[in-house]
Amino acid sequence: MPIIGNPVKGRPLAQIVRAQGDPAALSASIDFILEKIQARISLHCQRHCF
């Protein structure tokens, strides 16, 4: 859905300068999330797969 009109506070989205992401931080975040998912799957299998 497009955002139209003037913002109540702040700036219009088109005027916001976005910071470049840090590849190392992104990689660390993905690794952390995947570890959490793997731990949840492992715990689930310990309870229900055997």
User: What pLDDT score was predicted for residue 43?
Assistant: 80
| The predicted structure's pLDDT at residue 9 | 82
Q: What is the pLDDT of residues 1-50, one digit of tens each?
A: 566 777 778 888 788 888 888 999 999 999 999 999 999 888 877 777 76
| pTM higher than 0.75 | no
Q: Where are the alpha helices (DSSP H) in the chain?
A: 23-48
Residue 42: per-residue pLDDT: 85
Q: Rounded to an integer, what distance in angstroms lies between the CA atom of residue 12 and that of residue 4?
A: 9
Give the pLDDT confidence score for residue 2 in this predicted structure.
Answer: 61
